[in-house]
Amino acid sequence: MSHLPGHNATSSDGGGFDTRLLSKGESATVTFNRPGSYTYICTPHPSMIGQIVVTGQAVVEAPPIVVGPSGQQPQAQHGAH
C-alpha cells in the first residue's frame, strides 16, 4: 500500500494563496479581506476543486489574502472572511 501525499488549497485563478501541503490532522487559515469568488485546487489531486465566496465590505488597508497557520489569527486582520 502506497502512502498518498497530503492535501492543500492553492489558488487556481490568480487569487494568490497556498496553504502548503497539509498532513492528516493539520490545518491552515486563509483570511480574505476582499469580497469575491476564489477558486482553488489541491495540487497533488487536481481533480479536487473548490470555490470560496466572500461577501461583505472590503478592508482596503489590509492585503487581499493572508495565509497563516491554523489556530493563529494573522496580525491586525479584520473584515470579510
Q: Across residues 20-30, what is the average pLDDT?
A: 90
Q: Tens digit of pLDDT for each residue in 66-76?
A: 887 654 443 33
Q: What pLDDT sits at residue 80?
A: 42
Residues of the chain with pLDDT > 70, as a percent, come to 78
Model confidence at 4, pLDDT cuts 50, 70, 90, reads: low
The phi-psi region of residue 34 (left if phi > 0; otherwise alpha if psi is between -120 and 50; otherwise beta) is beta
| Strands (DSSP E) found in the chain | 10-11, 28-32, 36-42, 45-54, 65-69
To the question of pTM greater than 0.75 for the whole model, the response is no
For range 1-29, the mean pLDDT: 84
Sheet arrangement for strand 45-54: 10-11, 36-42, 45-54
> What are the boundaries of each domain within the chain?
10-63
Pick the closest to residue 15 from 35, 31, 39 (CA basis).
39
